[in-house]
Amino acid sequence: MIRDHGGSLTIRSKPNSGTKVSILLPLAPTPEELAPARLEDPPEGIESIATILVIDDQEFVNELFRDVLEECGYTVHSFIEATEALAAIRTGSIAPDLAMVDLMMPHMDGRTFIRESRDSGMASPILVTSGFSIAEDGDQALRGETCGFLRKPFRAAELRSAVDSALREREEDLEKRT
């Protein structure tokens, strides 16, 4: 977990002298670095208005996603429970252009949501978010079902870039089909 957050752990032990444990973590970003990046014009090649579905069990993370993405001109539907988001997709009350899903959530985790939303016919690209790295060996199938990974904590500019890239890729895929 320490490495996942860019840190390091050192343990030094000497017989009859004790053990010294050192944990080094990077500094947290300043409020200015976390502030939403203003978007003066919609990204080139991207619809000026896209609908983005955000699913994260932490309300403050949902609020951050919503603030940044609405500032960029996107319509945002956010859910704390993946089961509620899945129900909205199945009833057709939302048809997102992009879904952003946290992997680690209670009741229904991100992997289950991805599988069930695909089984329900949702073809939108899915951007995975998590405070943990995606394991190299365990999530190959997940990689095939998603368009990218955004690791928490992130800066507003990183969020905007990941969303812009996912939507640009979606537009290119739609153009190829027509």
Domains of the chain: 27-177 (3.40.50.2300)
The per-residue pLDDT for 6 is 67
Report helix angle 156-177 to 59-71, nearest 10: 70
Cα separation, 127 vs 163, in Å, equals 8
pTM confidence score: 0.70
Tokens 């952003």 found at: 100
User: pLDDT digit of tens for each residue in the chain (178 aa)?
Assistant: 666 566 787 888 888 888 888 887 776 655 555 544 444 455 554 445 799 999 999 898 889 899 999 988 899 999 999 999 999 999 999 999 999 999 888 888 888 999 999 999 998 999 998 877 665 444 555 666 788 888 888 888 889 889 988 898 878 777 776 6
Cα separation, 19 vs 139, in Å, equals 36
The per-residue pLDDT for 134 is 60
